Structure 1
């Protein structure tokens, strides 16, 4: 049996055990997956105790520990984790801990379930850690242009400076509107409180997909606004949650689970 866990504080709400046990059933893996609520000042000790078990293979990490997980695995991180300075997946190989940020992989996989990305114009709204972690996988999907905007434009410009790419640029919301983006992604947490991120009338006039990284049982404020403004379709981030978990499962086991049925069964 392989042992896995998700670390967070709080963690009781996590769907990760349900998701990964479904993946295991689909792929024939024998696993046990726990929720572990680590003390806010005791994450490193909790992780070390978990990996002291020879059956422990890997773990997921959620708030508020992603930055601490990065510090633990900084020498062996994927590029997305190094850019975001945050890790949501740890994998033990021998005596070394490898760190990954799978959010971008999950986002791209879920976007591709709904629309094409190659040759399209994509806009990210927000320049926090969520945005940082998804830029490189989005660029790997070969868009014509990837734009990022933020209320404080300097924060968006900082990400562009860190991730130099000819197709990646920081823009004001008015400049973004002139580019007629095909896909618009809300990377902020505004929808958690029913608020809107920085948007503008006319921004969604040619939008094929408005995507909110936040998920809930009903359409978010961002999704509703986008639809009213002419977006052809909208989607929340529940599929991203399952797809990023699938990426972690593949890192740990080498197996790629089917996600559509899991998304359908577990969706709120």
Structure 2
């Protein structure tokens, strides 16, 4: 293992105690033979920029991840954005490319596409319901649209769904739904991109949209390997195809790792190891 220098990566967000990213990156570190340490940083409101500046002042603090609720807010504090970060207007990965210069990227979109393909959940010309209109949704919408699907956005705050859909409608078929009309649609794939699972809650959607043929995917996951509240609810109302966000976590993290170190970890082996660890 490379040990000339010890690199440090941090995850900034609120909350962060639930995150499995430190476990994932510990596995990655061994796989790519580079010694780096990954920790979570609980970041209070209005303290993000202060925390980031302090962190990146240190020589071996190479990069960072950003999670809720800061994926969109972080944009104003970044010097250079990758094209995919510019398109989605959301950032989950930072890299210090020289003193006082930060590169911002978003690996959520390529992460979820990779995992949906791995699971055979994603097909072309599907009707996809995306629940939520926060930073995570912004990160994955461009990639979902690129697969020639119809994307429907539903959010408890209606105007946020409208803003998100209008931002990306030039790239493909994307629409926003109101509470009264969502029950009139049939969906092939339903993705929960809200943080409801962190708080043991379920998004407010009608049970009539769930059927035995519905593919249900939750970006959230449980540390103990149990089913998330959203997926439990989907199963209760008939879905036979359920998957949490463990695979997406690993896939997007692998692309972050590649940005930092130019080495790509083994996704399949990491998912197996991670699942074994969280069931203990």
TM-score by length of 1: 0.84
In 2: Cα distance, 1:52 partner to 1:238 partner: 32
Structure 2's unaligned 5+ residue stretches are: none
Aligned length: 266
Describe the superposition over 1:118-171 as per-residue Cα deviations: whole angstroms up to 9, x where unpaired: 31221111223322221112223x143122122343321211111123322223
Q: In structure 2, which of residues 157, 176, 197 is the aligned counterpart of residue 170 of structure 1?
A: 176
Alpha-carbon offset, residue 254 of structure 1: 1.8
In 2: Cα distance, 1:65 partner to 1:149 partner: 20
Instruction: Name the CA shift for 1:35/1:158 in 2 (closer, same or farther; >3 Å).
Output: closer
Q: Which moved more, 1:84-93 or 1:117-126?
A: 84-93
Could you tell me whether the CA contact under 8 Å between 2:62 and 2:95 is conserved in 1? Answer: yes
Structure 1's unaligned 5+ residue stretches are: none
TM-score by length of 2: 0.81
Q: In structure 2, which of residues 52, 58, 66 is the aligned counterpart of residue 53 of structure 1?
A: 58
Could you tell me whether the CA contact under 8 Å between 2:14 and 2:69 is conserved in 1? Answer: yes
Q: In structure 1, which of residues 193, 198, 206 is the aligned counterpart of residue 204 of structure 2?
A: 198
Alpha-carbon offset, residue 64 of structure 1: 5.1
**Structure 1 segment 30-179 matched on structure 2, within 5 A:** 30-37=35-42, 41-63=46-68, 65-73=70-78, 75-79=79-83, 81-82=85-86, 85-95=89-99, 96-119=101-124, 120-140=126-146, 142-164=147-169, 165-172=171-178, 176-179=182-185
Could you tell me whether the CA contact under 8 Å between 1:147 and 1:176 is conserved in 2? Answer: no
- Aligned-residue CA RMSD in angstroms? 2.8
Secondary structure of the 2:116 match is: helix
Could you tell me whether the CA contact under 8 Å between 2:91 and 2:139 is conserved in 1? Answer: no
Q: Which residue does 1:185 correspond to in 2?
A: 191
Describe the superposition over 1:78-134 as per-residue Cα deviations: whole angstroms up to 9, x where unpaired: 355446654221112234211122222222222222124231221111223322221
Q: Which moved more, 1:34-43 or 1:121-130?
A: 34-43
Instruction: Name the CA shift for 1:10/1:151 in 2 (closer, same or farther; >3 Å).
Output: closer
Q: Which moved more, 1:9-18 or 1:221-230?
A: 9-18
**Structure 1 segment 230-249 matched on structure 2, within 5 A:** 230-249=238-257
Q: Which moved more, 1:146-155 or 1:59-68?
A: 59-68
Could you tell me whether the CA contact under 8 Å between 1:115 and 1:209 is conserved in 2? Answer: no
